[in-house]
Amino acid sequence: MRQITRSEVHEIQTKALGLDPLALDLTSVECIAGALRRAAGILCPCPPKMLVNSVAQALQHLADNPSDLRETIDSTLSAMVAYGDLVECQVAQTGESTRSCVLLYATPPSFVVRRDGSSFLLGVTPDNTLPLPATLTKCIEYTNHVRRLVPTDTENVRSQLKQFGLFELTMDQWLKAPSSIAPEAYIRGFDEALNAATSAGAVSDIRILDPAKPVRYYLGRWLEPRSHTGRFVGRRPQLYGADLWCYFEIEKGEARKLVDLPLFELRWRASDEAWRLQGALDAQRGNPQRYRIHPGSGGNTSILDLFSPVPLWMQRRWDYVGQPVLSTGCLFSYAIPKAALEEEIVFAKDKLWLQEL
């Protein structure tokens, strides 16, 4: 029996995930996404934390920077939910006390055909192996959490994918976004719900997004209310599961009323509605959330930098037209073809009220 080296483990397991060990190792986002899909095929439905823990435990001794590993796994999982590999559902549980928790469900193997003839591959199989022939699997391009099928024969790819059991999603089904609305009108619906809410009672350990903090530093906007008075997006703890997203009415640091989110955009996650509501509140106060554009490599793309989270329907759209890239000095970035950039900026301004930095 021979003891194998850490580099050999990286090579063997990267190959097992169907990826190229000459270009990637197990701590790359592409491999982490593959490991999450494999774990999801075994564990789902399950809480997000269970998936993160399972992959973190498997990789913790193989990472050069274990302290950063969990953060990378967590952000990759969030991107996969936004992309459509997994679906996040709020599940009500009954017992001695009524509570809810978030579970992740694996999406069945599916595809979305792009305008250029390539396809996005979505979903999870129990063994993380898409039921495709070698002629197609060799045409899959892996970029972070995204899997693109770029076949040489684009005419027959749709029928081939269906033949091997993949479901086709139309672009409208995959990219469907909420209707356009002015920020004041969007906020009005939440204010009316909050006006009709009863007293919140004793609510402790809440955190809010402070509108007075700079919109370019999302994490720095979170704080515990002290002397704050007004209406805020925030989170409150629950006995089981992740903290709940809420819209609060606060007086001198104490929650007087609250409504749990989502209220209106029920198809999406609570965080998606909360982030859009915060964007509307920022725009209404004259301090809208920002984006930044700078040239990409090669001259055919521009880099779109974002400083605040965006809903998953926005991320899916940018996965469709461009691709995520490493970010510097911002929360996340996308490389967008120059030919599509103007349309994407108009869409982001219309739906999320962003302004250029």
Span 279-309, pLDDT tens digits: 999 999 999 999 999 999 878 999 999 999 9
Span 104-124, pLDDT tens digits: 999 999 999 887 788 999 999
Per the CB < 8 A criterion, the answer to whether 29 and 72 are in contact is yes
Span 157-208, pLDDT tens digits: 888 899 999 999 988 788 888 889 999 999 999 999 999 999 988 888 999 9
pTM beyond 0.75, yes or no: no
Report the distance separating Cα 315 and Cα 177, nearest Å: 11
Per the CB < 8 A criterion, the answer to whether 121 and 133 are in contact is no
DSSP 247-316: EEEEETTEEEEEEES-SS-TTS-HHHHHHHHHHHHHHHTT---EEEEEE-GGGSEEEEEESS---HHHHH
Confidence of residue 323 (pLDDT cuts 50, 70, 90): confident
Locate 262 and state its tokens: 């989502």
Confidence at residue 100, expressed as pLDDT on a 0 to 100 scale: 63
CB neighbours of 331 closer than 8 A, spacing ≥ 6? 218, 306, 307, 308, 309
Instruction: Give Cα 231 to chain centroid, integer Å.
Output: 26
